[in-house]
Amino acid sequence: MSTRLIIHGGKEIAGTIDVRGSKNAALPIIASTVLTEEPCRISNVPRVLDVERMLSILERMGGIIKQEGNHTVTIQNKNLDLEALKSDTVKQLRASILFLGPLLRRFGKVCMRYPGGCKIGARSIDTHLTALRDLGGDVYLGRKYFSVEFGEKASFPNALILKEFSVTATENVMMFLSSVPKTTFLKIAASEPHIQDLAKFLSKMGATIRGAGTSNVVIKGREKLSGASHRIVPDYIEAGTFLLLALCARGNVRIKNAPVSQLDLVLKTLIANGAHINLNERESVIETRGGIEDRGFGKIQILPHPGIPTDLQSAFGVLATQTKGSTLIHEPLYEDRFHALRELTKMGASVKILDPHRAMVTGPSKLKGVDGVVIQDLRGGAALVIAALIARGTTVLSNAKEVERGYEDLAGRLRALGADIERVA
């Protein structure tokens, strides 16, 4: 039987919770350590399943990984063998694609399994492969594996335009170009906070990167990069998840280590719609006081950063069930990310999926606990946990391992806020 979460809802949620390091920053930073043979020290690494899988792929390639306490790793990649890239773990993790760009700089040719990940839409790796082709690489697509190869005398273009604002494709290309000894203009770059954090790490390794956090990034690479030490930025998606939980539960919650400025539009939208929130950007604290007024949102528009992030879409959907009137949720990025909203109807929510990109949530609804709520993806799972915490009665959520891909000890940390939540393996 799959790992389950059993939640007795309706308990008061209050107290202080710390935000951990960003999973989506840790993953590309771990991948970029293969750009050097020198040791790299990374702290504030969240202990989540996706990070463990990423480290385990690296270890199987021959990387030497030393853990210092719970959240710091030292990685040294002297002798690597790429055979591990053909393993099943690569398929379990979408982020394994992040090894492609940096390993191509080190080996010239990489053959790997197609990456897998959350069931939230088609999500091909086409943006990555098109970018690598545009950089002069030859791409061969097999049934189970694919490979990319650069000739010995590859000459790289001065500018590269991505096909869309893809987060991991931007990261792959940034890692690749950081070790190309020339200046390249990267356009249509994604600008998420984790991309900015990766750029900081690559700069510490010796690259010069300007414009990270905008759609135009200039990268001046260096053939030989060095080891570096870095502290991973706090996770704005985790902070946003706790914030939406606190508002749904109408609790007084103090969220510490919150990267406040990375949540500008989330906070503005919530405050404009009657959320009682105090912000202290200097001290990285967000505090909620008694939830949100019953005004209704009208519309929640998901967009790439600095828009409202798709990774908070499902949790916004839960909050919409608690506010008055209808909220249109427009999710233009993924074409199948409404699974959690569909599951909410089992708990008494009024949700209509209008098409693959739009859902209508009408509230307020009194959610009730049920046995048989299925988690399909990481962020949807976190949203269903929020719903179960505010529902009357007991909810049993199956496939809870999905949530562990991206939230460290979620059950334990929520218990400290007063939640009655038990993980059953």
List the catalytic residues. Answer: 118
Q: How far is the CB of 32 from ligand EPU (least distance, A)?
A: 13
- What residue type is assigned to position 302 of the chain? I
Stretch (H or E) spanning 129 = helix 126-134
Among 24, 179, 184, 322, binds ligand EPU (CB under 6 A): 24
115 vs 291, beta carbon nearer ligand EPU: 115
- Give residues 386-415 in contact with ligand EPU (rule: CB under 6 A): 406
Among 108, 116, 213, 304, binds ligand EPU (CB under 6 A): 304
Cis check: omega of the bond before 306, within 30 degrees of 0: yes
Residues 325, 329, 335: CA angle, nearest 5 degrees: 150
The CA–CA distances, whole Å, from 78 to 36, 62, 65 equal 8, 8, 11
Q: How far is the CB of 127 from ligand EPU (least distance, A)?
A: 6
Q: What are the residues facing 17 on neighbouring strands? A: 255
Q: How far is the CB of 197 from ligand EPU (least distance, A)?
A: 11
If binding is defined by CB under 6 A, does position 381 make contact with ligand EPU? Answer: no
If binding is defined by CB under 6 A, does position 94 make contact with ligand EPU? Answer: yes
If binding is defined by CB under 6 A, does position 213 make contact with ligand EPU? Answer: no
If binding is defined by CB under 6 A, does position 310 make contact with ligand EPU? Answer: yes
If binding is defined by CB under 6 A, does position 251 make contact with ligand EPU? Answer: no
55 vs 95, beta carbon nearer ligand EPU: 95
Q: What are the residues facing 279 on neighbouring strands? A: 286
Binding mask 166-205 toward ligand EPU (x if CB under 6 A, else -) reads xxxx--------------------x---------------
In DSSP notation, 287-314 reads EEEEEE-TT--SEEEB-STTSB-GGGHH
Q: Do residues 144 and 151 touch, judged by C-beta distance below 8 A?
A: no
Q: How many residues at the interface with ligand EPU, by CB under 6 A?
A: 24
For tokens 């049993």, what's the residue?
396
Q: Are strands 358-363 and 371-374 parallel, antiparallel or unpaired?
A: unpaired
Give the strands of the sheet with 4-8, arranged side by side: 371-374, 394-398, 4-8, 420-424
Among 113, 230, 357, 379, binds ligand EPU (CB under 6 A): 379
Tokens linked to 222: 């260096």
Q: How far is the CB of 364 from ligand EPU (least distance, A)?
A: 27
Among 10, 108, 116, 121, binds ligand EPU (CB under 6 A): 121
Q: How far is the CB of 122 from ligand EPU (least distance, A)?
A: 6
- Give residues 321-360 in contact with ligand EPU (rule: CB under 6 A): 333-334
If binding is defined by CB under 6 A, does position 165 make contact with ligand EPU? Answer: yes
Give the separation between CA 425 and CA 381, rounded to whole angstroms. Answer: 16
Burial of 18 (0-12, 13-18, 19+ CB in 10 A): middle
Residues that bind ligand EPU (CB under 6 A): 24, 27, 94-95, 118, 121, 123, 127, 164-169, 190, 304, 309-311, 333-334, 378-379, 406
